[in-house]
Amino acid sequence: MQIQFHGAVRTVTGSQHLLTINGHRILLDCGLYQGSRKESYRRNQNLPFDAASIDKVILSHAHIDHSGNLPNLVKSGFKGDIICTYPTRDLCAIMLRDSAKIQGYDIQYLNKKRARHNLPPVEPIYDMEDAVDSLKQFVGIGYNRPFQIFPGIYLTFYDAGHILGSAITVLDIEEEETKQSRRLVFSGDLGRPNRPILNDPSPIDSADILLIESTYGNREHPDLDEASDKLETIINSTCKQGGKVIVPAFAVGRTQELVYRIHKLVDARDISPDLPIYVDSPLAIDATSIYRLHPEAYDEEVARFLLESHTGDPFGFAMMQYTRSTAQSKALNHLRQPAVIISASGMAEAGRILHHLKNNIEDPRNTVLIVGWQAPHTLGRRLVEEEPEVKIFGERYQLKAQVSTINGFSAHADRSELLEWAGGIKTPPQHTFIVHGEEGSSFALADALNKNLGFENVSVPEMGQTFHI
Ligand SMILES: [Zn+2]
């Protein structure tokens, strides 16, 4: 067996791990690398392997850093199945098209710049048609259903509890050459236990070869209940002073979690049932419909909540409004009463959130609520750091609104939670590979797996590195 690491090693984006088992080439994830524009374009455009030589793709979940380069893979000659869970397939139907759209805008901007320097225009990595074409190769399977992908190779997905449809990939392999039976486990992105809507990450009790994520390999998250209490306090105090709460949030996952938490607060009368709540993002609205389509993926708490709630919808209640059209979105600019507006993008780099920030950050009664990690150099990060003046659409605005941050909403297991999950594996794996983390986090987790759990043979692979195991 051979494993080659082509992305999300010593970094968190561009997940692509290529397995060669019994002569079959299986790609785990085919994500987009997200970094500086030039570097991203070069890395994503040039696949590090011959696309036509790949037999199958196994996709852990729909996040773009795991799925986003599939249209390019298909466009470059990949003809096989892309196997994932049903919700992942449905989320990809909106996310890959959205990704094609964003790349279209990006390339337009880039080509304008190139034209000024008399350089020829460049092509987008893929377009809408490529995104739609790639969807034709998806094959959905349910959790906990062993599925033979090649003779002697069985795939089972277990719930990873990270976003809707996210999966831990387990491959039970009968190796032809050695006649050995071995189990390879790829954690994908692992969620946190006790998060709303989603199940806890499934425990896995055996693995001979383990690939484990390490986003928070060196950090612990605050308590989840603390996060909900903080949400209640921020909404109530802002409304009391007549202000609005503006929340930049990722359209898939974070928005649905926020809406559900607010729904619970409203039902418990912890916040006023008369307070209007808006989700102003077409992508988030589409993603919410997909969340509604997959009750089989909900945890017990939501199932119970649905029985008790009068709306029968975790994402809908009297004052909850989804604004899809541009006219509806623009109407929010004239809103004078307290409200909560949740909009994308999550790091306030693009999308409708920019309009809401522009219209609201100069009013000290308002609060900008940050609910996710903000990358350096983004507007979101500037707001977290409370820069007194920020640029939006090229204009300068004074930051007079309050900025509050809730850190507890992370969709990734923290250090203790990663160790606890890995500790469920009864006999230490023969080989462990640490992926999906910045270098510091990956090495910290490698060290802890070795010292705390007795895992030997733990590697933090480098980009392009191949292991024969
Ligand atoms: Zn993810």
pLDDT in tens, 104-118: 988 898 899 999 999
Residue 426 CA to ligand 1 centre (angstroms): 26
Residue 169 CA to ligand 1 centre (angstroms): 14
Residue 129 CA to ligand 1 centre (angstroms): 25
How confident is the model over 62-108, as pLDDT tens digits? 999 999 999 999 999 999 999 999 999 999 999 999 999 988 988 89
How confident is the model over 386-399, as pLDDT tens digits? 999 999 999 999 99
Would you say residue 224 has pLDDT above 80?
Answer: no
**Dist CA 380 CA 343 (whole Å):** 13
pLDDT for res 43? 92
Q: What are the angstrom distances between the C-alpha of 13 and each of 40, 64, 257, 373, 383?
A: 10, 9, 23, 14, 24
Exposure string for 76-110, b = 16+ CB within 10 A, e = fewer: bebebebbbbbbbbbbbbbbbbbbbebbeebbeeb
pLDDT for res 385? 96
Q: Work out the angle at residue 46's Cα, subtended by the Cα atoms of residues 45 and 51, and round it to the nearest 5 degrees.
A: 105
Q: What are the angstrom distances between the C-alpha of 14 and each of 29, 67, 68, 342?
A: 9, 9, 8, 27
Residue 121 CA to ligand 1 centre (angstroms): 32
- Helical ranges in 46-85 per DSSP H: 64-67, 70-75
Closest CA to 213 of 61, 344, 357: 61
Residue 63 CA to ligand 1 centre (angstroms): 5
pLDDT for res 397? 98
User: For the chain, first and last CA: distance in Å?
Assistant: 6
Residue 191 CA to ligand 1 centre (angstroms): 9
Residue 98 CA to ligand 1 centre (angstroms): 16
- Helical ranges in 246-369 per DSSP H: 254-267, 282-293, 300-308, 326-331, 353-360
Residue 241 CA to ligand 1 centre (angstroms): 37
Average pLDDT, the chain: 95
Residue 62 CA to ligand 1 centre (angstroms): 7
pTM: 0.93
Q: Do residues 426 and 208 make contact, with C-beta atoms less than 8 angstroms apart?
A: no
Residue 190 CA to ligand 1 centre (angstroms): 8
Residue 201 CA to ligand 1 centre (angstroms): 13
How many residues does the structure list for the chain? 469
Share of the chain above pLDDT 70, in %: 100
Residue 327 CA to ligand 1 centre (angstroms): 32
Q: Which residues surround ligand 1, an ion (CB under 5 A)?
A: 63, 189
pLDDT for res 303? 86
Residue 393 CA to ligand 1 centre (angstroms): 29
Q: Predicted confidence band at 222 (pLDDT cuts at 50, 70, 90)?
A: confident
- Helical ranges in 161-278 per DSSP H: 224-240, 254-267
Q: What are the angstrom distances between the C-alpha of 206 and each of 2, 15, 183, 184?
A: 20, 23, 8, 9
Residue 445, judged by CB atoms within 10 A of its CB (0-12, 13-18, 19+), counts as buried
Residue 120 CA to ligand 1 centre (angstroms): 35
How confident is the model over 29-46, as pLDDT tens digits? 999 998 777 888 899 999
pLDDT for res 273? 93
